[in-house]
Amino acid sequence: MKIYLDNAATTQVYPEVVEAMTPYYTEYYGNPSSIYSFAGEANKAVSHAREVLANMIHAKAEEIYFTGGGSESDNWALKATAEAYADKGKHIITSKIEHHAILHTCEYLEKKGYEVTYLDVDEYGTVKLDELEKAIRPDTILISIMTANNEIGTIQPVAEIGKIAGKHGVLFHTDAVQAFGHIEIDVDKMNIDMLSASAHKINGPKGSGLMYIRKGVRIRSFIHGGAQERARRAGTHNVPGIVGFGKAAELAKATLKERIAYETVLRDYLINRVLEEIPFSRLNGERVNRLPNNVNFCFQYIEGESMLILLDQRGIYASSGSACTSGSLEPSHVLLAIGLPHEIAHGSLRLTLSEKTTKEELDYTVDELKKIVERLRSMSPLYEDSLKEKRS
């Protein structure tokens, strides 16, 4: 039995994607920057992927820059904007629930003399628009708010954020790594100036990402070297990785509507069963306005890590918070930001579905989860105490 419910951490590379990539390792291995005709195939494939990926977000092909993944794009967006616009100001606005690729880059910039405002979110993980607007100052150069959260799935009011940024003449970057290929994104309608996306979150290969940079945005090159990517991101193109990203996006686009519908039904089924059948459980994030494949619960009186180990023994692969925070004993910064106390934030479980997840798999998962929660609680002195308190 293998039930993979950690699709926010990474996804299966689809066989069609591998098939599309393979010839660019073994046959058309030429460097796309070379002049001879043999390199032409590789060059064409990169251009095709660029078109497809631009189409996904209603951008122009020349506004897409290939990178080595979501983290690189996030680093690039923040560091290069900070540098290019330092003459205008040194203030950046972000939120407390961003991915560490954003938060740790912001901390780095603070050490370099930039000032960062970390916006609070409401109890569902949504940025408050009035507070965002109030935080804008004459020296604000960038707003970076994620499209959808990787832990609790909350979708941000991106179009409204874009509108506010535009009104004040501030650049708007969004980390769309969890949202790209999972929900509709339109960089024009949403007034997005820069956007990060990553192939391995949409059934593409790892280590392949992109940054959308709107034409006219002043941004410095991030990797210095050759003239690839309009001299803004040097390095020989990862041709198979780019081809795989393009193919994954093509598939994601073709199935988007039905996938959203299918996953939403499964997601809500899972939420309802858990909340009804497991006492002292809580859903984290917005009930409706959340990624179709994301579920995140807290189970009071339980350690998230012990739950994961017991689930693993039953062939169920899940996560507590994000893959990046596991291994540290700190509770998730996202759960703390939505106001959960430390002891509850420790007992969180994230289950992220795919279009291949079945109802049977979820039934098995909930059945096992019920037993696991019961067993762990029976060993928890806190749980015993709380029961005694209720009785007295």
Ligand X SMILES: *Cc1c(COP(=O)(O)O)cnc(C)c1O
Looking at the annotation, which residues are catalytic?
Answer: 324
* Cβ distance to ligand X smaller for residue 102 or 366: 102
Q: Does 13 bind ligand X (CB under 6 A)?
A: no
Nearer to ligand X, 28 or 180 (CB): 180
SS3 109: helix
* Pairing outcome for strands 316-317 and 3-4: parallel
Whether the Cβ atoms of residue 354 and residue 11 lie closer than 8 Å to each other: yes
Query: Distance of alpha carbon 300 from its chain centroid, rounded?
Result: 26
Considering the complex, what minimum distance in angstroms separates the CB of residue 391 from ligand X?
44
- Near ligand X by CB under 6 A, which window of 44-52, 194-202, 216-224, 376-384? 194-202
Should residue 285 be labelled a site residue for ligand X when binding is judged by CB under 6 A?
no
Q: Which of 5, 45, 65, 70 binds ligand X (CB under 6 A)?
A: 70
**b/e code 303-316 from CB counts within 10 Å (16+ = b):** bbebbbebbeeeeb
The closest alpha carbon to 181, from 297, 355, 358, belongs to 355
Of 42-50, 173-181, 313-321, 344-352, the segment contacting ligand X by CB under 6 A is 173-181
Nearest distance, CB of residue 213 and ligand X, angstroms: 17
- Beta carbon of residue 138, minimum distance to ligand X (angstroms, whole number): 30
Reading the block at residue 78, the tokens are 């923040």
CA distance 365 to 367: 5
- Applying CB under 6 A, among 11, 126, 178, 332 the residue interacting with ligand X is 178
The span of 54-62, 67-75, 259-267, 342-350 binding ligand X (CB under 6 A) equals: 67-75
Residues in 205-234 at the binding interface with ligand X, rule: CB under 6 A = 209
Q: Give φ, ψ of 227 to 5 degrees.
A: -95, 15
At 348, list the tokens.
Answer: 């969180």
Q: Which of 69-77, 82-90, 107-115, 116-124 is the region at the interface with ligand X (rule: CB under 6 A)?
A: 69-77
Structure tokens at 38: 């043999």
Considering the rule CB under 6 A, would residue 71 count as an interface residue with ligand X? yes
**According to the binding rule CB under 6 A, does residue 153 interact with ligand X?**
no
> Does 198 help bind ligand X (rule: CB under 6 A)?
yes
Contact, 85 vs 138, CB < 8 A?
no
The closest of 122, 85, 86, 82 to 102, measured between CA atoms, is 82
Least Cβ distance, residue 239 to ligand X (angstroms): 18
The stretch near ligand X (CB under 6 A) out of 66-74, 122-130, 307-315, 363-371 is 66-74
For residue 190, the SS3 value is: coil
**Closest separation between CB of residue 99 and ligand X, Å?**
3
Tell me the CA end-to-end span of the chain in Å, nearest whole number. 44
The Cα diameter of the chain in Å comes to 84
Q: Phi first, then psi: what are they for 285, rounded to 5°? A: 100, 180
If you ran DSSP here, which 8-state letter would residue 115 be given?
A: E
Q: Does 304 bind ligand X (CB under 6 A)?
A: no
Site map (CB under 6 A) of ligand X, residues 83-122, x = contact: ----------------x-x---------------------
CB of residue 316 to ligand X, shortest distance in Å = 21
Coil vs helix vs strand at 358 = coil
Cα separation, 259 vs 243, whole angstroms:
22
Question: Which of 32, 69, 153, 304 forms a contact with ligand X (CB under 6 A)?
Answer: 69
CA distance linking residue 378 with residue 42, whole number of Å: 60
Among 43, 150, 238, 332, binds ligand X (CB under 6 A): 150
Cβ of residue 63: shortest distance to ligand X, in angstroms? 19
**What residue type is 362 in one-letter code?**
L
Among 63, 175, 250, 263, binds ligand X (CB under 6 A): 175
Site residues (vs ligand X, CB under 6 A): 69-71, 74, 99, 101, 146, 150, 175, 177-178, 198, 200-201, 209
